[in-house]
Amino acid sequence: MLLAAALVLSAALLLAPAALAVTQIDEPDKSPDGYTRTASQVIAVAAETEAARKTLEAHPTAKPTAYTNGPGRWQVSYHDGGPELAQIQVDDASGQVASCSPDGSCREAWRGDQVAWTMARGYPGAFGTAVNSPFIWLPLCALFFAAFFDPRRPFRLLHVDLLVLLSFGVSHFFFNAARIDLSVPLAYPVIAYLLVRMLIAGFRPRERAGPLVPFAPYWLLVGLIVILTAFRVGLNIVDSNVIDVGYASVLGAEHIVKGEDIYGEDFSEQVPTGDTYGPFNYLVYVPFVLVFPPNGEWTTVPAAHAAAIFFDLIVIIGLFVLGRRMRAGPEGRMLGAALAFGWVAYPYTLFALSSNANDSLIAALLVLGLAGVSSTAVRAEVLALAAAAKFAPLVLFPLFVRGIEDRARPRTTLLFCAVFGLIFGALLVAFAVLQGGGIGEFYDRTIATQIDRSSPFGFWGGSYPAIEWLQPILQAGVVVLGLLVAFRPSRRTIGQVAALGAAVLLAFQLTVDHWFYLYVVWFAPFALAALFGEYRTSDAERHAVSA
């Protein structure tokens, strides 16, 4: 079963901001061609901002430099012999600090992490555009929760679990408001709860009272899935954006089509570090690039839209199949529909789709691996492809080696390692060893780049130095957990494998320097399978409750 052989589907167009030239102005009292203000004037405007004042309080010797930054826009940057400390954007026509939101509630005056990280500035629609609207987000939250709400058991654990999954939105709200000082710490309690919940579901599973879907019949769930899927695809076409992750994936595929190396300094001027992913990530985009060739600029990227839609559809279909694998007969059919509905109604899956990132590729592969977990060759192949796309799924290696077998068998282990090694190794040889820089450059451009970068979007990226001593301890715990799930529990179901897989992924995400909301889709299918699998789905059970 090779996923790479199954690629064809629809796509769309969309605008993304083009890169603008930033030019330093050395004549402070002369207006550059096409501008009405002078460098001295815009520096004076910038000096009145809170960002400039606080920067000078902390760095009294910092000096401002004026630049033009595209038509009608100035940029004033403060330096003190090192990295940029503050950045203020000034509108040339009005002579005021530029607005970063349509209603003027946000001003382009940044300091600290928001200078280097534009994604920390809360630009409206920077990720997913329309999906961030409360008129889309909140109804999805209501649908996601309502389908599984049982008024006869208002305090059942599933209600808490679903609300916790939705509570990433509290952190996300502050992220959109450019308050990463609040958004980052608010994400970690959610991850921690889900980690503990998945460990319990994996090591101490139990069947819980009440039906999974109290009142909605199978036909209604399927109808809602069709409607929501059509809505998701339509929204992707008419109002979504391609972030750097999706654009880099398309460019890497274009390199392959043209017979060029993927990894190297000349990957792209627009996304110079876009070659940080594994080779399969770029290879899987090749069919979409062949059908929808990129135009060479970060404007319309239909191949990224087509790929994101395809990955999303694979997850939906895979969850239907997974439900049938977890339960026999009508119960399995209903569980599959519940899983697919959970995916299409959960706002963060639409967030990933509307950002046209490559994260749903990982979700698609892992869902296929879980659906085929009874086959050693299938789960080895799928994990190899996932690890060769983004390296994080490697933490699932011990779990996938064991699968659902009652005990570890040498023959099974050898077969898994052989299939995994053949596929993973072939991809590395084809796209790393045989390319110009070899395995050394491949390592530097991918794994080393990820390890060496700091990020304000995590506890361990430099923003919270007082607790950084805890990171290596937790990372050691991830290794222990990753190995433990290969041996315990001794007997396991597909639902337990899903729970343990989600736990390992959550533990890994808890310890990385950079965390973002797009990563939710990595563990979401496993978490839904683990949580939903604790409840029965038969018609008789639902009718007994409603009687």
- Structure-token pair, residue 162: 């679903």
- What pLDDT is attached to residue 6? 36
- Residues 237 and 171: beta-carbon distance below 8 Å: no
**In the predicted model, is pLDDT for residue 18 greater than 80?**
no
Q: How far are the Cα atoms of 128, 147, 188, 277, 543 from residue 510, in angstroms, in the given order?
A: 24, 29, 7, 20, 41
Q: How far are the Cα atoms of 391, 460, 509, 520 from residue 451, in angstroms, in the given order?
A: 12, 12, 14, 20
**In the predicted model, is pLDDT for residue 362 greater than 90?**
yes
Determine whether 145 is exposed, middle or buried from the number of CB atoms within 10 Å of its CB (0-12, 13-18, 19+): middle
**In the predicted model, is pLDDT for residue 10 greater than 50?**
no
Q: What is the pTM of this model?
A: 0.89
Report the amino acid identity of residue 346: Y
Q: Tell me: the pLDDT tens digits for 495-536? A: 999 999 999 999 999 999 899 999 999 999 999 999 999 998
Instruction: Work out the pLDDT band at 299, boundaries 50, 70, 90.
Output: low
- Structure-token pair, residue 533: 């699998």
Average pLDDT, the chain: 89
**In the predicted model, is pLDDT for residue 468 greater than 90?**
no
**In the predicted model, is pLDDT for residue 465 greater than 60?**
yes
More confident position, 14 or 127: 127
Report the amino acid identity of residue 338: A
Give the number of other Cβ atoms within 10 Å of residue 125's Cβ.
Answer: 17
Q: Tell me: the pLDDT tens digits for 150-208? A: 999 999 999 999 999 999 999 999 999 999 999 999 999 999 999 999 999 999 999 89
Residue found by looking up tokens 């990753």 in the block: 482
Q: Tell me: the pLDDT tens digits for 394-446? A: 999 999 999 887 776 888 899 999 999 999 999 999 888 777 678 888 888 88
Residue found by looking up tokens 């899927």 in the block: 229
69-88 exposure pattern, b = at least 16 Cβ within 10 A, e = fewer: bbebbbbbbbbeeeebbbbb
